[in-house]
């Protein structure tokens, strides 16, 4: 599959939006809360949202030509995130703090940056200082 830099950077931007919406909509110090954390307390709604957001990340990873190792890592983060919601109350609280979508999105973004260079939205491209949660260029 021939993946263009433009398509890979589109996937980078989608991953950024999913990460922010799911796990960092409201930043609180080093942490953040997003829809995934809020919906963790609503049985059923969290599962639907989490599967949709996770499925979108995996789809974008495949479309961007991410390595098998990256896709497996993403899947593990997303599976851990989903498994937490199966435990009532304690699991919901842990899911509120576990940032599985953000971790999966960052894994995809690192893969894209490693292969195609930084996206125009990434801190590396802008030449600015990296944010604490930004993708770091590996290599």
Question: Which residue bears the tokens 């960052």?
Answer: 106
- Please tell me the pTM assigned to this model: 0.81
Share of the chain above pLDDT 70, in %: 85
Return the DSSP state at 28.
Answer: E
Calculate mean pLDDT across residues 29-41. 86
Q: Identify the pLDDT of residue 76.
A: 97
Which residues contact residue 16 at a Cβ distance below 8 angstroms, ignoring those fewer than 6 apart?
105, 109, 121
Q: Identify the pLDDT of residue 118.
A: 86
Residue 69 has pLDDT above 70, yes or no: yes
Q: How far is CA 36 from the centre of its chain?
A: 11
Calculate mean pLDDT across residues 113-130. 66
């Amino acid at each position: 599959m021939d993946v263009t830099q433009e398509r890979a950077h589109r996937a980078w931007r989608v991953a950024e939006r999913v990460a922010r919406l799911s796990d960092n909509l409201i930043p609180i110090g080093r942490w953040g809360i997003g829809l995934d954390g809020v919906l963790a307390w609503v049985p059923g709604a969290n599962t639907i949202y989490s599967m949709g957001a996770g499925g979108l990340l995996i789809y974008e990873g495949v479309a961007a030509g991410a390595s098998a190792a990256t896709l497996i890592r993403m899947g593990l983060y997303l599976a851990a995130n989903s498994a937490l919601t199966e435990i009532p109350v304690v699991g919901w609280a842990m899911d509120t703090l576990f940032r599985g979508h953000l971790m999966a999105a960052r894994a995809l973004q690192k893969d894209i940056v490693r292969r195609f260079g930084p996206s125009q939205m990434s801190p590396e491209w802008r030449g600015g200082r990296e944010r604490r949660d930004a993708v770091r260029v590996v290599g």
